[in-house]
Structure 1
Amino acid sequence: MLTLSLLAVGCASAPLDQVGSLQSYDELKPSDSLLARSLMRVSKDDVLAAKTVRIIPTGFSRPAAGKSTLSQAQRSLVTNAVDRALCSGLSQRFRVVDLTEPADLTAHAMVTHVTPTNALAVGVSKVASTAVSVALPDMRVPVPRLPIGLGSLSLEAEAIGDNGKQAAAMIWGRGANALLDSGRGARPGDPYNLAAKFGDDFSKLLVTGKTPLNKLPSLPTRAELRAMFGGGPKYPACKAFGKSPGLVGFLGDRMGLPPAWTDKGAAVRDD
C-alpha cells in the first residue's frame, strides 16, 4: 500500500480533454490503470476481423498547439514517437500499409494536452543519483526524481473501418512518475517517453480487441525486440517514422539525455 501511495503522489496529472477529432464520443467507458487514465470503446469483432491497417500521422490539436511551449521540432519528435510505437505494435497482427493503399482500418491520433518536463529538476535528480552512487559504490540505492516539473501527455485516437464507421476509440492521459520514469534533461523528455507508451496501449487495443490497461506484463514480441536493438521495421510503411533508437535510445534515457540526441526522428513526413 505504501508503494502504491508513493506511485500516486509522485505522478503528474494528465487531463482527458476532448478536441473533436473523433468521429464519435459515444459509449466511451473508463478503463484506468495505476499510472494511466483512459476512456475507450472497441468493437471487438470488427477489429479482430481486420487484417490491414494504415496510420495517419499524429498531430497536435489546435488547443494543444496553442498552449504548448514546445518548438515545432520538439512537437514533431513527440508525435513521431507515437506513430513509430503504434506502427511497431500494430505490426504484431496487422499488415501495415501505406496511406495510398486501401486498408481494413485507418488509425489516427491527436495530441490534446502536453506538459513539458522541467529540465533543471531532472538535472538536479541526476546529480543526486550520481552522488549517492559515488558515496555508496557497493550498494544499489535507487534515487527517485524530484516530484516537481514532471511532464505529461494526453491524446485521443480512433480506428475507422473501411465501412466508414468507428471500430475503436481511446482518450488517454498519463503523467511521468517520479519513481518509475528516470527523466530526460529536455522539455520534451517526458512527453516523448509517454508517446511510446500511448502507442503501445492503443496498438494493443486494436490487436486484442480488449483494454490494454491493468494487464500483467508480457514477454516482448519479435517486433519489440527488433526495435529494442535498433532494427528496422517489419513493414515498409513504418519506415516513414524512422528507425527506433534502440540500445542508444535506452542508454540515453538512463543517462537523461535529450531525446533529440538519440532519435533521428521521422524519415518522411507528409504533414
Structure 2
Amino acid sequence: MRLEFLPGAAAAAQGTGRASRDGQRNRSSSLAGAALAMVLLSGCASAPMTRGGSLASYDNLTQSDGLLAKSLVRVNKDDVLAAKTIHIVPATFSQGASPTLSQEQRKLVANAIDRSLCVGLSERLQVVALDQPADLTAYARVTQAAPTDEVAAGASKVVGILPTALGAGVPVPVPRLPVGLGSLTVEAEVRDPASRQQAAMIWARGANSFTSSPMVSSAGDAYELASSFSDDFSKLVVTGTTPFGKPPDLPSFDKIGASFGGKPKYAACEAFGRNPGLVGMAAGKLGLPPEWSDKGAPTAGQ
C-alpha cells in the first residue's frame, strides 16, 4: 500500500512541531523565571505595606509588584508627562517607623532616598530648588525600616571571603546568611501646584541572601534599599507607567556620572550631597557601615 503525504498535511505537521517546540521553550522560560523567583524569595526578608498617612489620597491605588518589591501605584499619565520641572521635599520618617535606628542613621537613609530620587527624576524633569516655581513637587516618607542584624551581616561577610582565603582559583559566590535581614517601606507621591496628587506609590522590599550586600550596620539594608525605591518611584514619574514588568533601561551618562560621585545634572541636587562613588563601593564590598563613607547632605555653610 502506498502512502501519500499532502503538502498541506506536511505543513500542518511541521507547524504543529514548531508550535510544540515554541510552547516547550515558553514553558521552560516560565519555569526558569519561577525558579529564580523562588530562589530569591527563599532568602528574602518580608516587608509590610505600612501606610504612614502622608499621602494626599490612598484611593485608586492598584497592585503592581516586581520580582522583589511589592507596590501599590497610581498615576495620571498625561498630567505627569506634561510636567517639565519638579521640587523634591526632603524625605522623612514616620513616628515609630524604626525605633532602633539612630537619628543620624535615619537622616542617612532619608537623604539616600532624596539623592537617588533627584538623579532619577533628572532623566526627564528639571529639578529646581524649593524656592522656585515647579510643575510638580515630590514627597516621600519612610513608614517602616527593619534593622539589619550587625552580627549576622558580619558573619555573612566572613563566610563570603572564606573561598578566597582558602585559595579558591575562581570567584565563588556565597549567598548571604538568611537571618537578620533588614527591609524598607516607603510611601511617596507627586502633587501639582494645587496640591492635587498626580502620582503615588507605596513600596516595600526586604533584603535577600543573593543580591543584597551585608554591611555591618543596623541601617545597612535600609540604606541600600533606599536607592532601589527611588529608582522605581522616579521611573513611575518619568514614564507615567509602572516601573515593573519591563526590561531595564540604559542609564544616561549623567546618571552614571552621579553614581560615581560626579556632579549631578541639576544644581538643586547638590542639596543632598554626592554619591560616595568608588569609596562607597569599596566600603560596601568590605561590609563597612555606610555611615563611614557617605557624608550625607551638606550642612549650612558647606
Same-fold status (TM-score > 0.5): yes
Query: Which residue in the other structure is 1:142 paired with?
Result: 173
Query: Partner letter of residue 251 of structure 1?
Result: A
Pairing partner for 1:232 from 250, 258, 263: 263
CA–CA separation in structure 2 for the residues paired with 1:224 and 1:184: 24
SS in 2 for 1:157: strand
1:92-107 pair list within 5 angstroms: 92-107=123-138
CA–CA separation in structure 1 for the residues paired with 2:94 and 2:279: 31
Question: 8 Å contact 1:144–1:182 — kept in the other structure?
Answer: no
CA–CA separation in structure 1 for the residues paired with 2:119 and 2:299: 16
CA–CA separation in structure 2 for the residues paired with 1:136 and 1:144: 18
Tell me which moved more, 206-215 or 131-140: 131-140
Deviations 1:141-191, CA, capped at 9 Å, x for gaps = 100110000000001000001232110000000000111112111110000
Query: Which residue in the other structure is 2:30 paired with?
Result: none
Q: Does 1:267 align with 2:302?
A: no
CA–CA separation in structure 1 for the residues paired with 2:246 and 2:268: 29
CA–CA separation in structure 1 for the residues paired with 2:122 and 2:100: 33
Q: Which runs of 5+ in 1 are unaligned?
A: none
Q: Does 1:18 align with 2:51?
A: yes
Query: Which residue in the other structure is 2:39 paired with?
Result: 6
Pairing partner for 2:92 from 59, 73, 83: 59
Question: 8 Å contact 1:241–1:268 — kept in the other structure?
Answer: no
Query: Which residue in the other structure is 2:70 paired with?
Result: 37
Pairing partner for 2:162 from 112, 131, 135: 131
CA–CA separation in structure 2 for the residues paired with 1:109 and 1:268: 21
Pairing partner for 1:197 from 203, 209, 228: 228
Query: Which residue in the other structure is 2:10 paired with?
Result: none
TM-score by length of 1: 0.95
CA–CA separation in structure 2 for the residues paired with 1:218 and 1:99: 29
Question: 8 Å contact 1:68–1:115 — kept in the other structure?
Answer: no
State the aligned residue count. 267
Query: Which residue in the other structure is 1:153 paired with?
Result: 184
Runs of 4 or more, structure 1, over 6 Å off, are none
SS in 1 for 2:96: helix
Structure 1 position 230, deviation (Å): 1.1
Tell me which moved more, 125-134 or 173-182: 125-134
Determine what percentage of the aligned residue pairs are the same residue.
55
Structure 1 position 3, deviation (Å): 3.0
Query: Which residue in the other structure is 2:241 paired with?
Result: 210
Query: Which residue in the other structure is 1:110 paired with?
Result: 141
Q: Which runs of 5+ in 2 are unaligned?
A: 1-33
Tell me which moved more, 82-91 or 122-131: 122-131
Tell me which moved more, 135-144 or 197-206: 135-144
SS in 1 for 2:116: helix
Question: 8 Å contact 1:232–1:244 — kept in the other structure?
Answer: no
SS in 2 for 1:106: strand
CA–CA separation in structure 1 for the residues paired with 2:230 and 2:166: 39
Bigger relative contact order, structure 1 or 2 (CA pairs below 8 A, ≥6 apart): 1
SS in 1 for 2:89: strand
CA–CA separation in structure 2 for the residues paired with 1:252 and 1:54: 31
Deviations 1:240-268, CA, capped at 9 Å, x for gaps = 10011111111211211100111100114
CA–CA separation in structure 2 for the residues paired with 1:247 and 1:63: 34
Structure 1 position 6, deviation (Å): 1.5
SS in 2 for 1:63: coil
CA–CA separation in structure 2 for the residues paired with 1:46 and 1:90: 15
Q: Does 1:251 align with 2:279?
A: no
